[in-house]
Structure 1
């Protein structure tokens, strides 16, 4: 039967395809940043999501809740793959995206998290959509390709591919070194090693199919640089100071982010190195999140770079620091619209607390007007209204990222962190003072594991 609005001789051709936007990444990461969904829905675009198969049950349940941001998603495609298998998500991703291309006019695509960055780059390239570019998305997703393309910016290294561990000679590097599985994220599997013999032992502990990057350990304060790039030019860039577990452990789990860097001591050299690094990648359109260390000689050393939104609570920190959310500008860039973003006007910080290993029993906070919020691993983070530039220092929230009864072990990766708080202040000194006060007001209660817990 001919559609009433179609031309009689060309019924199908007369029907315009609905316009849509593709978001990709872990479902829980997308839901943690619901502003992307709200921004796209307000534009009248169909929202399509590609996410790993492991999120199917959680996603389908959430979509049935009219109060959940996931209810704004029009279609979800689930793809099989594994983070430790290079390119394993690509076949399923290509099949799902190709099917949508025949049913929608795809206006843009954006990778919210690390999982599908490379595949999203392929989609943008195939359809001529704004994106970081094939080189940027491929290289940013691979630690060993970063050392190949960006060798001038990083430490000396050795790439150990699958099947090459017997032939690898870890003595060619100066120790200590850092071992990194090449395709994982969230600091998973990243370990500092003191000598070549220990390195040989550690290589045998990684799965046989993984490529391992071994690099000489860079020292010095750690930073990240967040950059909004449009048509190959930065439209906003800022330095974040980081603190990690490195001082007391072999791991490198991030424990604090400060936006902007309170001292600004190394901003000029970091921004210069970051710009040259993005030029080397041919980075075109999107957001870049690069991680650096600045040694005693004042030279920045690139740890790694990602072609997607920074993780943890950094987007929330930028909102609190500037007074404006960053997500709408990211969507503008992905749609080819002119983007801009203001400079920070307040100092902000997110802090992750350490804990005693055991079973999480409770988290208490002695603070007027603020109570612990139990959001869980997959829960949505609340949104906070930014303060004016001169407002007093404020604790915005204390979030519990695990469920009561969860087992808490040592901090070996970002996924092991259980409690975090966010704060902001008009001055750097005020931020430091507030952090000390909040730390003294928080108690993370864990109990020893019992035989029942172990089973």
Structure 2
């Protein structure tokens, strides 16, 4: 009988930064098969290192190396799965990264395995389809198809407006425009192959809701409060600078949890984890920015571990395997903050005596993160890690996407007020030094 195997699909680095996936799969004696758009050389080199999580990967499928298009991802993922199906008995599939959500959903559907479902897998990869399927929560928008980024004559645009490519992630290409000429200039900068949305700019606090779903029922759902570069950039960019798990208590929680439940029901979301990004406008209406059918990015899984005392990844694996899953409520408040920097050449990170004994860990843009362990619910406010995501000598620019951020800090506390005070201490104590260049 062919050995049992599990297919992970996503960025090589994102998968390897979640070692709990590997631990859960190895504990079940499952072979790990990885579909990834990441460079083959990087992955194979890491797999030869016995100390690296990738050493536990049985086989790789490198997709999109030529064009990197959605069609290439899908075609090459299916080709790999067809070959694996003859050698393994595949028992689970998980999309751990944004670009692999639809291929993973199709593979799981064909194999009769738990997944978000075809509607959710397809719709969650397209902001255009999210506006179509979920009109109740959608901002007013206009879609400009690939090859034609010109507004139809007489089109009324509600300025200020947001321009965003339909298929990207990490805030890439998202910008605010103030008038017709500004809009024309930005539309001219998008590749002709992209579908672009032009939509009303929603003013209001930004949140996300993470939901663990099994058999169409929400097992766990929690609201995360977010801060972005919106204020500092005058509304020109929206790169995320802070995540707070759970969000400090407010009237927004019930609104967002109910809205997310209705979104998941409309998408027939069956099995998996969802990450829905929201704003609440001046009237109190929840407006959906986008919804994803994969684990949340940045350090949100780490934050849930700090806030609940339990890692989220094992439950995600259990859902993908059809096992009984569950997740505890948050018992602590956790936060990841990205410190802003002066553009220039990264020279050093300094931590003052206000936070004695704390050191920065230089993980670089392609490195693994250290394990960040949770404390007890009654622990005092604690800084858990300071991670530098760039290398010395790298050029740091004004953040226009998530990849431009240089340093993040993980901290937690028993209550939101204490967490706020610790954050201010961190901001005073940690300095990113750059040289002009």
- The reply to whether TM is greater than 0.5 is yes
> 1:144 aligns to what SS in structure 2?
helix
**Residue 442 of structure 1, aligned match among 430, 433, 437:** 430
In 2, the alpha carbon distance for the partners of 1:356 and 1:222 equals 25
In 1, the alpha carbon distance for the partners of 2:26 and 2:177 equals 48
**Residue 241 of structure 1, aligned match among 219, 222, 225:** 225
**Residue 2 of structure 2, aligned match among 17, 20, 37:** 17
Shift in alpha-carbon separation, 1:355–1:293, aligned structure 2, 3 A:
same
> 1:89 aligns to what SS in structure 2?
helix
| Contact 1:20 1:106 (8 Å CA) reproduced | yes
> 2:197 aligns to what SS in structure 1?
strand
Write out per-residue CA displacement over residues 409-433 of structure 1, whole angstroms, 9 at most, x where no aligned residue: 0110000000000000001110000
Which residue does the alignment assign to 2:383? 395
Structure 1: runs of 5 or more not aligned: 1-15, 450-455
In 2, the alpha carbon distance for the partners of 1:160 and 1:380 equals 39
Instruction: List aligned pairs for 1:353-392, cutoff 5 A.
Output: 353-366=339-352, 367-392=355-380
Structure 2: runs of 5 or more not aligned: none
Write out per-residue CA displacement over residues 125-165 of structure 1, whole angstroms, 9 at most, x where no aligned residue: 11110000011011101111111111211100000011222
How far is 1:386 from its partner? 1.1
| Contact 2:149 2:196 (8 Å CA) reproduced | no
Shift in alpha-carbon separation, 1:169–1:368, aligned structure 2, 3 A:
farther
In 1, the alpha carbon distance for the partners of 2:174 and 2:345 equals 25
In 2, the alpha carbon distance for the partners of 1:310 and 1:114 equals 9
In 2, the alpha carbon distance for the partners of 1:82 and 1:123 equals 22
Determine if the alignment matches structure 1 residue 311 to structure 2 residue 280: no
In 2, the alpha carbon distance for the partners of 1:369 and 1:169 equals 63
How well do the aligned residues superpose, as a CA RMSD in angstroms?
1.3
The aligned length equals 433
In 1, the alpha carbon distance for the partners of 2:370 and 2:66 equals 30
Which residue does the alignment assign to 1:292? 278
Shift in alpha-carbon separation, 1:82–1:149, aligned structure 2, 3 A:
farther
| Contact 2:362 2:388 (8 Å CA) reproduced | yes
**Residue 94 of structure 2, aligned match among 107, 110, 118:** 110
Which residue does the alignment assign to 1:330? 316
How far is 1:82 from its partner? 7.5
**Residue 269 of structure 1, aligned match among 244, 248, 255:** 255
TM-score by length of 2: 0.97
> 1:340 aligns to what SS in structure 2?
coil
How far is 1:169 from its partner? 5.0
**Residue 146 of structure 1, aligned match among 119, 130, 152:** 130
Which residue does the alignment assign to 1:210? 194
Write out per-residue CA displacement over residues 362-381 of structure 1, whole angstroms, 9 at most, x where no aligned residue: 11112223200000111111
Which moved further from structure 2: 76-85 or 413-422?
Answer: 76-85
Which residue does the alignment assign to 1:301? 287
Which residue does the alignment assign to 1:13? none
Which residue does the alignment assign to 1:44? 29
Which residue does the alignment assign to 1:453? none
How far is 1:81 from its partner? 5.2
Structure number with bigger Rg: 1
